[in-house]
Amino acid sequence: MSGNNGICYEKSLEYWADVPPTVDGVLGGFGYISQEDIHGSLLFLKALFSLEHPPASRTALDCGAGIGRITKYVLLPYFGTVDIIEPDEKFIKAIPEFVGENRTKLGSLYRESLQEFSPDKKYDLIWNQWVLGYLTDDDFVSYLVRCKNSLAENGVIVIKENVTSSGKVEKDEVDSSVTRPLKQFLKLFKAAKLKRIKQSIQTNFPNGLYPVYMFALVPITNDTSYEKEMLDTTPV
Ligand SMILES: C[S@@+](CC[C@H](N)C(=O)[O-])C[C@H]1O[C@@H](n2cnc3c(N)ncnc32)[C@H](O)[C@@H]1O
């Protein structure tokens, strides 16, 4: 792939270690967009459950979960069990209380970074939001390959991330992350042998923020299925 974009994993972890375990904290001071974000995510998830071959609703995985915002509002209402990956200890500890009454449906809470994580079970849905910008391109691809290999039948990987409009990778020195252009995401999905079956852009976010894309990805089953990608971009 194309290098590490200057990403430093230690610097990202140090940044998050100083952030309070609140919705506003995990959203970098943009806590007020959480409700709209959850609304868009729920519409996207419902569209996936309406597919001809929808994912089952047994087990989901929330990756780079912070305090479990997506787990609580998007995943736990629809899945029997939700597992979590999150490297920051204080965020992990905050999850059960933040999740509240549905905490009994929490599964394994892995205190790990995505670049080191190797799932050892099958998931119906793997949700990655506002976290893949912390990974180098190489680790992004190898992590997605591991996710792909741990999908249950009809399983789907969801990616919800900021996307640049400049067509370039833009670096944030403060938390050592990058924001990628659409073409870079597509290149990395292809390298991981994943294809998009659905793509939407989050609506009703305030002006001035990066566009936020939601991608639903499934394995490419043969060499020609990438070219025949049947992409549904109808708004959710
Ligand atoms: C912007 S917050 C998003 C949290 C959550 N996905 C949400 O939308 O509420 C980014 C999260 O990614 C975590 N993170 C940073 N680098 C990571 C890495 N290499 N692997 C896994 N998680 C990481 C941080 O600790 C933080 O919880």
Nearest to 216 by CA among 54, 78, 27: 54
pLDDT at 4: 78
Which residue ranges in the chain fall short of pLDDT 50?
none
In the reported structure, the alpha carbon of residue 231 is separated from the centroid of ligand 1 by a whole-number distance in angstroms of: 28
In the reported structure, the alpha carbon of residue 79 is separated from the centroid of ligand 1 by a whole-number distance in angstroms of: 21
pLDDT at 230: 64
pLDDT at 234: 72
pLDDT at 232: 77
Domain 9-219, classified CATH 3.40.50.300, yes or no: no
Best substitution site from 9, 134, 178 to test ligand 1's pocket, by max atoms within 8 Å of Cβ?
A: 134
d(CA 156, CA 60): 10
Q: Which pTM value belongs to this model?
A: 0.96
d(CA 233, CA 123): 24
In the reported structure, the alpha carbon of residue 131 is separated from the centroid of ligand 1 by a whole-number distance in angstroms of: 5
Closest atom of ligand 1 to CA, residue 113: 20
C-beta separation of 182 from 153 below 8 A: no
Q: Which two tokens stand for residue 38?
A: 């959850």
- Kindly list the protein residues whose Cβ atom lies closer than 6 A to any atom of ligand 1: 9, 12, 16, 26, 64-66, 69-70, 86-88, 91, 113-115, 129-131, 134
Closest atom of ligand 1 to CA, residue 16: 25
d(CA 177, CA 72): 25
Nearest to 159 by CA among 136, 138, 143, 176: 143
In the reported structure, the alpha carbon of residue 223 is separated from the centroid of ligand 1 by a whole-number distance in angstroms of: 33
pLDDT at 223: 64
pLDDT at 236: 72
- Is beta strand 170-172 parallel, antiparallel or unpaired with respect to 177-181? antiparallel
pLDDT at 162: 98
pLDDT at 168: 97
